[in-house]
Structures are given as structure tokens and as C-alpha cells.
Structure 1
Amino acid sequence: MSDEDGVFGESVAAHYDASVEDRFAPEVLTPTVDLLAELAGGGRALEFGIGTGRVALPLAARGVPVHGIDVSRAMTSRLAAKPGGDTVGVTIGDFATTRVPGTFSVAYLVFNTINNLTTQDAQVDCFRNAAAHLEPGGCFVIEVGVPELRLLPPGQRAVPFRVDADGWAFDVYDTATQRMSSNYVTLVDGRPEYEHYPFRYVWPSELDLMARLAGMRLRDRWEGWTREPFTHESRGHVSVWEKPAG
């Protein structure tokens, strides 16, 4: 999470909101903010990977004090320029290790952002960092997909998730290291342009162990923000780990 100009620089920030336009839809965003506001209670919220403020700004508009940590000045400058952006504090740094003053009722990572930490050590550090920021009884929330390895036939490493007249996109998995990447080939004026984003996929049980190493325990796990049951068919989950109150 240190390559600001390479992965999360101006070229990504300039079109990021448009690229995730569906994530701003009320049916997606409202349940997210509802749950985080509930967990915050009357306390403060800390967002890891705050980006352009998709979640932080409506959460702050609910009266929840929000602070964010993000590696990218290009992304967070978009947040600051939006209405209400001056009410959200931002610290530039790696959210796996960067500390900010004070304690929080809830810390959270949304939309697969835990996978942006591309080593297991960094993901473990992220849980420890969250626990260090939480007040007793506070919660750490992660929204992330379940690795879709069942879609891989023997001998294949790539899973396409978009194919149309404008281009195609596919994920590539390395099951030995849990490294993966999302790859996009887009046709612009008849010429292909290629983008590559590295990640590390992580299993729900692995996240639970990371939480235990950080002194937290699983409180809830749902398929999504509207609290549907999590099952073996779920393609993602929202998980809540709690720091002991004592």
C-alpha cells in the first residue's frame, strides 16, 4: 500500500467514482451507512482506505465523526473537494500500520479493500492496527468477496468477469500464494489499453484467525449489509469482530 502513483494515483482517481457508479446507488449505500452508524453509536468511526469518501461522507452526514487513512493523495483530494469533505479528517499513510490520535467505536474496510494488502503479514498488521484504534467493546467491520476458486477448472488460473464489445476483464489466481490480480483490456479508438491491479484474496476463517491474533472475536457475519444469512453459496460477506469490553 505504498505505491501511491502506481496503483492509486491520478490516473485511477480521475475516473474512480464513475467506475464504481453502481456502488453509490441508494440500495447499496444506505444499508452500508445504516449498519456503520448503528455500530458507531455515539462514537467515532475510522475508515481504512477512505478513498474518495463514498461511505465516509454520508456517514459523516448522519452525525458520526469520521476519520480516514489512505495512501493516495489523489483519491483523498476528491473527497476533500466534495460537499461535506471538510468535515472528514484524513491521514495519508498505509492503513495497515498508520496510527491516528484517539480511539474509535468502529473501524471499517469496505468493497474488498482488505485485498489491497498483498501479503498475509500486512493483513495481520491491519487487524492489529484496527484493534489498537478501537475503544473497549468497539467493532472492526470488513466487506469482502469470497474467493471464487470453484469457477476454476483444473489447469486454469483465470476467471473472466466481463466480456463485451468495449473490452474484457478477468481475475488471475495463484492458489499457492493467494495472490491474485484483476486485469482489464479496454478498446479505446480501436486500440487496446491494459490495466492490472494486484491483490491477495483471503478466506473468512483466515480473517477470523487474524482477528484472534489481534485480540478480537467474531460477533456477526452476514452475506451483505442487509444482514442476509451467510451460507456456502454466498459470494461475499460483511463480518464484524469485537474488541473485548474488559
Structure 2
Amino acid sequence: MAYVTPTEAVARMVETAAFKAQLPFRLLLARGFLAGALLGYATSLSFIPQLQGMPSLIGALLFPVGFVLLVLLGLELVTGNFALLPMGLLARRVRPRDLLRNWLWVYLGNLLGGLFYAVMYTQLVHDPKVTELLASIAQRKVFSYQELGLTGQLMAIGKGLLCNWMVTLGTAMAYFSSTTTGKVITMWLPIMTFFALGYEHSVVNMFVLPAALLESGTLTVSDWWVWNQVPVTIGNIIGAVALTSFPLMTYSSHVPQA
């Protein structure tokens, strides 16, 4: 596993940010769609151990396969871009409007991909155990916050923050190795960690909560967005920028400034 120093890795991340900032919206949307669907795949894969009565940690060990696939394929995941694009902004390689443009189109693409896979999954998998599992997920990810009101929304923000600290570290770790094996191993660890701890990832929720909505008669679109999607997205952004972008840019003294 050929190690890349932090200074070199951060320089590459800034270059990636500059590249992503200039991608046309069609590519951002298409690559975002595929990334959202792949994370849906990985999330549904993580259901299998739970449905078979195994510890949830087994599902967490499986889930990173989706993240690894989308990174190696060069797809667009908005939660990773929540850290990469601000790094480009800090290095003066990305304009604010290009950052917002990237986030908007990738978020939309991720959402469409998650919705697509949610519809396919719920239409093709008819299992009472899956329905029961999705109902329990909706309870944990939406109704438990709703019951607490503002405190619940703050909890969702906090869990989103902690989640995307690990997710963006997973994104960053891909730059710390020059081999595919090294990238896979280093990405796997932080992604497994956030999933095992049950933190909130906005793109994962773009699959799992629509799936729960389609399978249960209790969850509504407004419940999903007010009590999970919006606060979790806010937390994901804060975690990415405050805990990954700014700290990693302390290694950027040799990053070329535009």
C-alpha cells in the first residue's frame, strides 16, 4: 500500500475539487444518480444480516462496498463534495457559485438515484420482515426525533455532523494511497465506523426513508424532510467543512494558489 503524504494528498484533493467544480450539470446529475443508487444497494445489502438475526455490526462491515464502488468509479456523492469543494474554495481554486452549483446538482442526482432504488427495491422485495425492519428504521430516524421536537432536530444535526466527519475522512483516505488495494482498505474503515454507530447520512436516507414511506402507511414526505433530511443535511455540511475541510487544509502550504 504505497503511502501518500498528507501534503501531497491534500494537493490532489484540491485539484479534484477544481475539476469537479467545472463539470457540466449533466455529468453531475448522472454520476450523482448512480452514486445514490449504489448507496441504496449497499444499504439494502446491510439489511440481510439483520433479517437473519445477526448482529448489526455485520451489516456495517458490508455497507462500505457501495462507497468503495462509487469512489473507484469516479461518481459524485454530495456528502464527500461537502468537504472537497470547500477545500478548493479555501485554496482559491473553486468559486462560491461553482461550489453551490455542484452541491445542488449532485444532491439532486443522489436523491433521484436513491428514490429510483427505493421504488425498485420495495416493488421487487416482498417480505414482511423487510417491511417490519423499514418501519423500525422510520421510527428511529424520524419519529424518535419528532417526539422530541427541537431537541430531536438538534440530535439529527449532531448525528449528521458525526456521520459526515467519518464519510469525508473516507473520501479523503482514498487520496492517501496510490494503490487500489490501499484505497479500498483506508476507505472501508471510517465508512464502516459511521454505519456501525448508527449516525445519519443524508444520501443513505434518500433510499431508506422513501423505502420506509412506500412500505408503511405512517411516514409522510413532510415527516421525512422536516425531521430527518433537512437537519441531517445541515449536520453533514457542518461536519464536512468544520471537521475535515479546515483541518486538512492545514497541510496545504504547498498547494498552488490561483
Q: TM-score range by the shorter chain?
A: under 0.3
TM-score by length of 2: 0.23
If each structure's helix is expressed as a fraction of its own residues, which one has the higher value? 2
- The structure, 1 or 2, with the larger RCO (C-alpha pairs under 8 Å, 6+ apart) is 2
TM-score by length of 1: 0.24
